[in-house]
Amino acid sequence: MENLKTKAEDLTTHVGDLLDTYYQLGVANLTQKAARTAGGLFIFIISCFIALCVMVFVGIGLSIWVGSLVNSPVAGYFIVAGFYLLLLALFYALRKKLFLPFIRDFIVRKIYD
């Protein structure tokens, strides 16, 4: 009878150890995913900042070039601003069909990766 009692105590100890191990594995997986997501977000923010700087300088250069073509610096800036507004309107019009599904799929892929 004591042998059965010892085996039952060992079984409860092993089940407790198993549950603790699964808990620690879950915490480790969650921490790893959070670290990967934070690293990806940091790289994305830095990339967006660099892209914004590039776009500003390209816009200024393009404005000066277009202004020299039409012999009016002000017109060059307005033409380039109109082009950017056209791109913005296009982005806004296509956001639900192209951009939001892409972003949603990217996020889901990163979560389950």
pTM strictly above 0.85: no
Closest CA to 37 of 100, 110, 102: 110
**pLDDT band (50, 70, 90) for residue 63:** very high
Does residue 22 have a pLDDT over 80?
yes
Query: Which ranges of the chain would DSSP assign to H, the alpha helix?
Result: 2-69, 73-93, 100-112
Which range marks the domain in which residue 98 is found?
2-112
- Looking at every residue in the chain, the average pLDDT score rounds to 86
Overall domain count for the chain: 1
**pLDDT band (50, 70, 90) for residue 113:** low
**Cβ count within 10 A of residue 80:** 20
What is the structure's pLDDT at 4?
Answer: 66
C-alpha–C-alpha distance, residues 108 and 113, integer Å: 8
- What tens digit of pLDDT does each residue of 64-82 get? 999 999 999 999 999 999 9
